[in-house]
Amino acid sequence: MTITRRPGGRTARTRAAVLAAVGAELLDHGVDGLTVDAVAERSGVHRATVYRRWRDVGGLLADALTAGREDDWRPPDLGSLTADLTAVNQDVVLHLTGERSLSRA
């Protein structure tokens, strides 16, 4: 018997809601203010589900970082290494200095 993982469904919706709540909590309260209970409340997911799946704040942060790898961002290809590196640098500066920067949080 082969078990296949469904790309959608309740599990995917739950993960998306929790990860969105993690991002919002990080923006509002930073890493030191991130709690499982606050994420559960903000996401609308029962706290027992959050504890069972992610166990603790470390699990939430690890999954949020993993989800970041799923982003489809690609480095620019502007035709020269200098132009490409300049564009990437500008992107990094923008994300680190933004008013509500998840990268900085």
The torsion angles phi and psi of 75, rounded to 5 degrees, stand at -65, 150
Q: Which domains does the chain have, with CATH numbers?
A: 1-72 (1.10.357.10), 75-105 (no CATH)
Can you give the pLDDT at residue 5? Answer: 54
Higher pLDDT, 36 or 99: 36
Can you give the pLDDT at residue 104? Answer: 73
Higher pLDDT, 32 or 103: 32
Please, what is the angle between helix 36-43 and helix 57-69, to 10°? Answer: 60
Can you give the pLDDT at residue 68? Answer: 85
Please give the Cα distance from 91 to 75 (Å, whole number): 10
Can you give the pLDDT at residue 1? Answer: 55
* Per-residue pLDDT band at 103 (split at 50, 70, 90): confident
Can you give the pLDDT at residue 7? Answer: 61
pLDDT at 27 over 90: yes
